[in-house]
Amino acid sequence: MLDELARELDVVIVVAAGNVPAPSVPAEEATSPAFQQAILEQLLSPDHGLTDPASALNVLTVGAVARGDLSRIETEDPERRYLAGAPCHCPAPYTRTGNHAEFDGAGSAIKPELVAFGGNYCLAEGGQRWNKMDANLGEPSLRHDYQGDRLLSAGSGTSLAAPFVTHVCARIEERLRKDGIRERPTANLIRALAVHSAQVHSDAESWIGENKTPGEAFERRLRLLGYGMPDIRRALFSSDQHIVLVAEDELPDGAFHLYELELPSEFLSLSSRRRIRVTLAYDPPVKGTRKEYLRRKLFFRLLSGMQADQIIQASKDGRDLKQPNTSPASQTVKNSTVRSVFVEGVRGSKFGQGSEPDAPALWHVLVRSEPRLETNGFGGQRYALVASLEHTDAQVKLLQKVRMRVETRIRTTWEG
């Protein structure tokens, strides 16, 4: 029902991932690192899998991370009873997570897509049960049952994380209206920009990936944190080192669109880390009587080293095209209605080179619509596409260069 409403009304629906009512308390581990490591393994178990309605595919699902890990009664006493369940910026011990083999809702979709601060748990006196209401670990909130002189309280849960994502989406809509980019911003564009802005905190990366291969660590991060926590400034603004481009359109079944993504020579220069990121959001019709219930899927490919006519011919022939290795891989995100992948590296040569020294390198983004079930009566498939170029070297000034090229091409189109 949420999937149908999100599509029919063109609204962003934000859903809390849900809480495990009574997460287990590890019995043996007496030190904080060992205790929290045991909590991490619990989070990856089927007991913490998503439940309805968090599995809806056309909504944004939000998990919870801890803002702090020092309880109100924290002392230097190493006894277990004061241990916090999660380190700062890491998944809270109660939050539900996705991508479990036993989970038959969204299957292998990235869920939750986003996380936000939702509070932490610590052990209560005696160390046998959780204290869920520690004032230092919970998120501040208005008391719903306001009594006496206490206007605020503190609590923990994914329901306290979801409003932050709602706030980010509202700010994105306001900005798009204010700048005149869209009179009525679509839900797809808002979802795409919110996810595109998200980042995983380095503390969480270290904790989740400790003693794991890079591939294992990345897979765990996706299950626990999705794409990370949205960043309002990255969602609303471009800067000299981080530029964001957006597009929206509609595709008939079986058709495709091809976008050019020019990488300025400045992006290719200097040996610093740089990244291309592309995010696609769409709202397919669903058929609720089936386990895999998307009536159609959109696929996109981020392509380099090919001419447009080569890509167009291959697409007309129904041939897939090899793309650079992305994180996550295309196969990993193929069942999600918001997909975000990136290519990053230190050497500019990884991203190609222009035909001349100061010429841009040319990449392409291919978007294709493929029906899975009967789609008569549903019209074309709406989607939003967001792409960004990011460079860590402060000497690189991308914004003005890209703006000039975009304005020149638009002006040429008008005159032509």
Q: Encode pLDDT of 247-291 as tens digits.
A: 999 999 889 999 999 888 888 887 889 999 999 999 999 887 666
pLDDT of residue 214: 87
Q: State the amino acid at position 305 in one-letter form.
A: G
Residue ranges, comma separated, of all CATH 3.40.50 domains in the chain are 1-237
pLDDT of residue 322: 86
pLDDT digits (tens, 9 = 90+) for 67-88: 988 876 655 555 545 788 999 9
pLDDT of residue 265: 85
pLDDT of residue 407: 59
Cβ proximity of 87 and 67 under 8 Å: no
Which residues, given as ranges, of the chain have pLDDT below 50?
80, 101-106, 410-416
**Alpha-helical runs (H) found in 1-52:** 2-9, 32-43
> May I ask the CATH architecture of the domain 1-237?
3-Layer(aba) Sandwich (3.40)
pLDDT of residue 17: 96
The secondary structure of residue 360, as a DSSP letter, is P
- Residue 295 parent element (H or E): none
pLDDT digits (tens, 9 = 90+) for 374-390: 877 788 899 999 999 99
**Alpha-helical runs (H) found in 298-365:** 308-316, 330-333
CATH for 238-415 (2.60.120.380, 2.40.110.10, 3.40.50.2300, 3.30.70.20):
2.60.120.380
Nearest to 117 by CA among 156, 71, 70: 156
**HSE-up (13 A, CA, CB side) for residue 124:** 6
Beta-strand pair 361-371/296-304: antiparallel
Residue ranges, comma separated, of all CATH 2.60.120.380 domains in the chain are 238-415
pLDDT of residue 164: 97
pLDDT of residue 104: 42
The secondary structure of residue 348, as a DSSP letter, is G
Put simply, whether the predicted model's pTM sits higher than 0.75 gets the answer: yes
pLDDT of residue 76: 53
